[in-house]
A and B are shown apart, each in its own frame.
Chain A
Amino acid sequence: MIDGPEIPLFGLRPLAANPQRSATDPAAGELVAAGPTLGGGRRLPGQGPDFEAWIDEVRRSRDYGGEFVHVHRQPARPARHAAPAAPLPPPLVAALRAQGIERLYTHQAQAIDHVRAGRSVVLVTGTASGKTLAYNLPAVEALLADPDAHALYLFPTKALAQDQLKSLGRLLDAAGAGAAADPRARVKAGVYDGDTSTSARRKLRQEGTVILTNPDMLHQGILPYHPKWARFFRGLKLVVIDEIHTYRGIFGSNVALVMRRLRRIARHYGAAPVFVCCSATIRNPAELAEALVGGPVTPITDDGSPRGPKTVALWNPRFLDREKMERRSANADAGRLFTDLLRRGASVIAFTKARVTAEILYRYAHETLLSKAPGLAAKIAPYRSGYLPEERRAIERRLFNGELAGVISTNALELGIDVGSLDAALVVGFPPTIASTWQQMGRAGRTHDAALAICIAYNEPIDQYLMRHPEYFFEQSPEAAVVDPHNPYLLAGQLASAAYELPITAEDAAVFGPQSAELLDALAHDGQVRALDGRWFWASTDYPAGRINLRTISDNTFTIVDGTRENLVLGTVDAISAPELVYPEAIYLHEGRSYFVQKLDLEQKQAVCEPREVDYYTQPVLDTNILVHGLPERQAAPPSPERGEASSLSRRSAPLGCGRSGEGGAAWRTRKALDGEVHFGTATVSWATIGMKKVRFYSLDSIGYKALDLPRLTLDTASLWWAPPVAARAAVKAAGFAPGEALSGLRNLVVTLMPLFAMCDPSDIGAVLDSKNLGTQALYVFDRYPGGLGFAEQGFHRFEELLAACDALVRDCPCDDGCPSCTGLPILRPAQQQDPDLSNGWPMPSKRATRVLLDAVRGVGVTT
């Protein structure tokens, strides 16, 4: 079917109309959708495409190679309604009716009840479930009831804020039609961000009742100026934080601290707002919400929104050549699926990870359609964040009204923006979180009609792993969003920002955490704050928020500039990440475009690049040392020449200025795991980029290596470590393998899988094998940021789960005895580790060796 015999255009069989209307849906008699996601109007409810039949056809076609590795059928789900405990005020009831909504869904009613009762909530319901109404309704209700009530809405992007402003506007307009008083007179909403004009800013400060903004603006442009917002804060009743799962890692940790500043300032003006958070499905939405809100949050997971039947399929391109482990191009398969679905009359959206891929896919689809279905060629469009707002609006409008049938997008469209619903969504390559995958797949689906979502795997370890473990998609997500508001480096900057805003009292310091007093004393010592009368006052002409970027951990940052465009700044990166990301001759990807790094200027802290179309990626090779704090000196083995350890490997006696342990108490935390123990503590880690590899696109062949000499970075951070129990080592040896090889393989597996559990980027963590610390070889996994950010800690707490996943990955890998997708050194991401501990290292550790180790550790019968 896909590459099968040519089907004449006029004889093209459309996807058969679904004969089964959702007759069981009591809402069937109502309008198609609750809320503005009315798609196309091209089709009446119940006449959706029959994707089941299509999948069967594909499977039966001659050219099919078994690519559908999993097909999951989500049955239609009728709407479940509920009413809030007390009815909504008449203008809102009228507004809803005008939008075709007679009753609310369960989660919307619950949200209203909780908010009215003053309880903060986190809504964990799917895409297009009416989450926006769940917060707009209580907000508008509160604002209509009290002329001095105000609301603050936070979005991770400016585009989303603009969209939500429109959404709110539509509700207000509907509420105003025919009402006695115009709600717009009471509810004055506006976006306040970097793009807002000076006069609009003034007006919003003086009169705004709903302010829509983003965390960066709140941090630098609103909170430090709070006296100008006194009127607004005095009446602050509600704070909405949308898409909270995007607040993780450094950004999320900083945002959690910014929220503490916000609450403190609200308190200063006498306000104690209720929080409404919205999250995609992750493992720990309530925990994340509480970390952001700083108080108890009630999760609302009872999604009452209706859904047509949805088929979710996982597509793994077939092997081209089993020995080489090469698969057919995922992009090519995606292109074929995309055009085929379009030709069958479905509307489709395809998500790609990079702009370059979106463009490739668009070109392929366009050419194919030109020759096979010319009428459709004009009905597809690429979509990416680089477009001007007007261009994006135009595409969204055309999608909405059916002029466009197919869109190829980068994840610019993933977040909440309203483009109506499409019949099918293709996710090309794992996005890279499961939460994002669901959000992208959520773009397909109308309220009653069948929808289709296909996730297409790249030939990369995580993609392949997930193809074999659909339970991660369809059962509990393993992904935990990690935030760490107690990282002292982040806390220091945010405390300074807070002191600038208002003098910090002992109570305030407690809210920011037990380290605050010490940090404030240190700031006082450095002349930034002064302690007077039991409070810390800002005592400098410095403006701290101005130099704190919420996305970096230090103010030691490098800028990445485009040398061909007068050093236009492409982005900034922590000094920690720079030698690994923008080393000389690196290929740097920015918004889907590739750049070649011409120069890394360490003095100027600048990486100069030029745009370059290349057919390869680069991967840095690192040399890492780790020294755990608190180990008694005698436990560490001296460097041994037989093991190839150079005695010039410096062993630092202590980090500068750091107290050593022996001050009582354990130097680290330990817990029993599997057959032994896993530990978590601080360590001084140093690494240097010693070389880079060039890796060709798609084939992933290595096409070159170059030695580099970049300065060594050293930082104190958190690390977990684990030494295989003696019995496990013995089992490996008995099976004829070197324990070092088995552990090497395990290390590579952990590097691949930890990001899945801790929702971090692979470059956020490092893993190294070392024997110097314990006198025996152990695996160390650490956060690549000073002070640690909670990733290694996550691994420490979930070590058994992590090892189980490693085991599953290595068992399921179809390779013979190790490949880059399982035990081998990873290709492309992240950096490759060259262990000083092992003289030659094992670039491709034996899979069997690793399996023996894992079996022994997990207490499974040893297999070879």
Chain B
Amino acid sequence: MSSLAETLARLAEKRVRGEIATAAVAGAPEREAYEPLGVESFLPGGVLEGPRGRCYLHERLRSDIEAPQPAWGRYPAPAWRVPALHTDLADRVERGLDGAVFLDLETCGLSNAPVFLAGTMHWNGSDYVVRQYFARDYSEEPALVDELTRFLAGFETVITYNGKSYDVPFLGDRAALHHVPFARPARHLDLVHHARRRWSGVLPNCRLVTVEWHVRHSRRVGDVPGSEVPDLYHDFVKYGAPHRLIPVFHHNLLDVITMDEILRALVEGGEDDIEAMSAGELE
């Protein structure tokens, strides 16, 4: 019998006997001393302490993971293409990643669930800086949301993949719940819309991994499926063992990096454009 069923039976009896206390209820137990072997050991970074409490920040450079490319930080478009580009994309041609940040969230569900990992990437002039804001348990979410929103406020444009439908409204909800001031970013470049316009005739679907394969010609191996992410986090909070969660960090990292490659591909154009252009379909 589950613990709940036993408790229910016991309580049912107690209250009829009038034994239920009317005194103030004790709260939940305080947390025990935090487990020393947490993600900190695997993902170097630091604890952020702010007005809303603590969360963890893991930061690294893209050059730690991939060999730097000359194209990094720039999105050159062939001259013939520029006039046909959407303003948001044309902006990137002109300004690179100046004033822009990539964003991708990992959450415990599609809605009404906490966000536990927020991946961002911006250009520091010579390299991409990847930051992953992490709530080591549910009580760290307010700090995560607070730190993240303050970080995002320093950028004019946020770049996402399906963020208009998902990531930004999600963050808005969590900010509302935690009373964290959150202003929607002034500009939002949601790559999924451009990807659809560009590739829906060419690709079976415009899911991120599908587009990633088309653009990077590489497939992920052993990547954690998105549907498993929430349970991995819940298990991590219950049982510790950061090895569960490392793949989620990695998945988030790859998502963020891939967005950059997709942006580049959208701007640069490719063989699939020639046909479209001649058919007058190019954006």
Contacts and interface: CB of A to CB of B under 8 A. Distances in A.
Contact of A541 (B12, B16, B23, B230): B230
A514 B7 contact: no
Given A522-B4, A536-B28, A658 B15 contact: no
Contacts of B27: 505-506, 509, 517, 534-535
A523 interface: yes
B137 interface: yes
With most chain A CB atoms within 10 A of its CB, the pick from B4, B9, B13, B237 is B13
Interface stretch (A220-228, A370-378, A598-606): A220-228
Interface in A778-837: 786-788
Interface in B132-178: 137-139, 172-174, 176-177
A652 B7 CA distance: 19
A682 B25 contact: no
B28 A526 contact: no
B33 to A, nearest CB: 13
B37 to A, nearest CB: 18
B28 A531 contact: yes
B65 interface: no
Interface in A308-327: none
Given A227-B174, A488-B8, A492-B4, A517 B17 contact: no
B12 to A, nearest CB: 4
B9 A716 contact: yes
Interface stretch (B78-86, B104-112, B257-265): B104-112
A517 B20 CA distance: 11
Given A227-B177, A500-B112, A658-B10, A514 B17 contact: no
B49 interface: no
Interface string A512-538: 011111111111011100111111111
B202 interface: no
A658 B25 contact: no
Nearest to A533: B139
Contacts of A520: 28
Contacts of A838: none
Interface size class of chain B, counting residues whose CB lies under 8 Å from the partner chain? 35 or more
A534 B25 CA distance: 12
Contacts of A506: 24-28
A516 B30 CA distance: 17
A669 B17 contact: yes
A533 B16 contact: no
B31 interface: yes
Nearest to A535: B28
B11 interface: yes
A661 B15 contact: no
Contacts of B22: 514
A657 to B, nearest CB: 4
Contacts of A521: 3, 7
B11 A656 contact: no
A659 interface: yes
A526 B30 CA distance: 19
A668 B19 CA distance: 10
A509 B139 contact: no
A682 B7 contact: no
Contact of A537 (B7, B15, B138, B173): B138
Interface in A497-511: 500-506, 509-510
B10 A657 contact: yes
B136 to A, nearest CB: 10
Contacts, number: 170
Contact of A530 (B14, B172, B238): B238
A537 B140 CA distance: 11
Contacts of A541: 108-109, 113, 230-231, 234
Nearest to B15: A486
Given A488-B15, A533-B30, A629-B13, A526 B25 contact: no
B211 to A, nearest CB: 27
A659 B13 CA distance: 9
B186 interface: no
B234 A540 contact: yes
A582 to B, nearest CB: 25
B138 A522 contact: no
Contact of B30 (A489, A534, A657, A786): A534
Given A530-B138, A541-B230, A682 B17 contact: yes
Contacts of B25: 506, 509-510, 514, 516-517
A489 B237 contact: no
A526 B2 contact: yes
A665 interface: yes
A658 B177 CA distance: 40
Given A517-B26, A520-B28, A657 B231 contact: no
| Dominant secondary structure at the A interface | mixed
Contact of A515 (B11, B26, B29, B174): B11
A757 B123 CA distance: 74
B35 interface: no
A537 B237 CA distance: 11
B26 to A, nearest CB: 6
B138 A518 contact: no
B230 A656 contact: no
B231 A786 contact: no
A517 B5 CA distance: 15
A844 interface: no
Contacts of A539: 138, 234, 237-238
Interface in A462-498: 486-489, 492
Contacts of B67: none
A682 B139 contact: no
Given A506-B26, A514-B21, A787 B1 contact: no
B139 A680 contact: no
B270 interface: no
With most chain B CB atoms within 10 A of its CB, the pick from A228, A525, A533 is A533
A126 interface: no
A659 B14 CA distance: 9
Given A517-B25, A525-B3, A535 B9 contact: no
Contacts of A534: 27-30
A622 B7 CA distance: 29
Contacts of B237: 530, 539
Nearest to A510: B25
Nearest to A680: B16
With most chain A CB atoms within 10 A of its CB, the pick from B12, B18, B30 is B12
Given A506-B25, A532-B31, A658-B13, A523 B4 contact: yes
A666 interface: yes
Nearest to B20: A514
Contacts of B29: 531, 534
A738 interface: no
Contacts of B26: 506, 517
With most chain A CB atoms within 10 A of its CB, the pick from B2, B3, B137, B230 is B3
A530 to B, nearest CB: 6
B6 interface: yes
Interface in A267-293: 268
A620 interface: no
Nearest to B16: A682
B54 to A, nearest CB: 11
B12 A787 contact: yes
Contacts of B230: 541
17 contacts: A224-B112, A227-B112, A503-B138, A505-B27, A506-B25, A509-B25, A513-B20, A532-B28, A532-B137, A539-B138, A540-B234, A543-B112, A656-B6, A716-B9, A718-B16, A788-B12, A788-B16
Given A669-B16, A682-B12, A788-B12, 13 more contacts: A230-B177, A489-B8, A509-B25, A522-B3, A522-B6, A526-B2, A532-B28, A535-B139, A537-B137, A539-B237, A540-B234, A630-B17, A787-B8
Interface of A: 224-228, 230, 268, 486-489, 492, 500-506, 509-510, 513-523, 525-527, 530-541, 543, 629-630, 655-659, 661, 665-669, 680-682, 716-718, 786-788
Interface of B: 1-31, 108-109, 111-113, 137-139, 172-174, 176-177, 230-231, 234, 237-238
